[in-house]
Amino acid sequence: MSVYAKIRGMVLDGLLKLADTTKKAISVQVEVDDDYVDDGIPLLQTQGVRFRPPADAEVVMLCINGDPARPVAIMAVHRDTCPTDDIEEGEGGLYYGGGWLAFVAEDGTVSLGAKAATAKAAVDTLVEAELDKIRSAIAGAAATPNDGGAAFKAAILAAWGTRGSVGSDKVKVEP
């Protein structure tokens, strides 16, 4: 094979036809030309991320030593599943089916379930601190006979004080 043919054959593109996710590496079947389908091509994905691309996703493959018989798929994307909202430089996230699953905004806010989720995510340590205030207030409240619990209620509310926020300012969720 000539050097020119090797260089020309180093990068291939095609359409994904099938994906097998039952192995440690996703294996894909790619239609390279109308009459040529290559099967069993490993789809390399970033460490810690694994998504099964949809059928008819565009696939880019590198061929080891320029040999088209040794392709490795390095990316697959179906443009119809990409969100189309305008995003700022440095923003982005995980999406599927045209919507954002996790989105990181320019200010570092992480939204789960939508690009601009509105509900704050509860932070377990803050929730526990609020619950500890309630527990302490109940344990320390004195009961007064025959007042219908008014003194008990007043003691608890006084001991509890102002309720603190348990929501994260940096993580929002779509309720």
- Contact (Cβ atoms closer than 8 angstroms) between residue 175 and residue 111: no
pLDDT of residue 154: 84
Q: Which of 2-11, 55-64, 148-157 has the highest mean pLDDT?
A: 55-64
pLDDT in tens, 36-45: 778 889 999 8
pLDDT of residue 76: 93
- pLDDT at residue 15 is higher than 90: yes
pLDDT in tens, 112-169: 988 988 888 888 888 888 888 888 888 877 778 888 888 888 887 887 777 778 888 8
- pLDDT at residue 72 is higher than 90: yes
- pLDDT at residue 8 is higher than 80: no
- Contact (Cβ atoms closer than 8 angstroms) between residue 80 and residue 61: no
Query: What structural domains and CATH numbers belong to the chain?
Result: 3-79 (2.40.50.230), 82-117 (no CATH), 121-173 (no CATH)
Name, in order, each residue with C-beta under 8 angstroms of 34's C-beta and a sequence gap of 6 or more.
Answer: none
Q: Angle at Cα 51 formed by Cα 49 and Cα 56, nearest 5°? A: 145
- pLDDT at residue 174 is higher than 80: no
pLDDT of residue 150: 84
pLDDT in tens, 92-118: 999 888 889 999 999 999 999 889 888
Backbone φ, ψ for residue 87 (5° rounding): -125, 150
Angle between the 150-160 and 124-140 helix axes, to the nearest 10 degrees?
A: 140
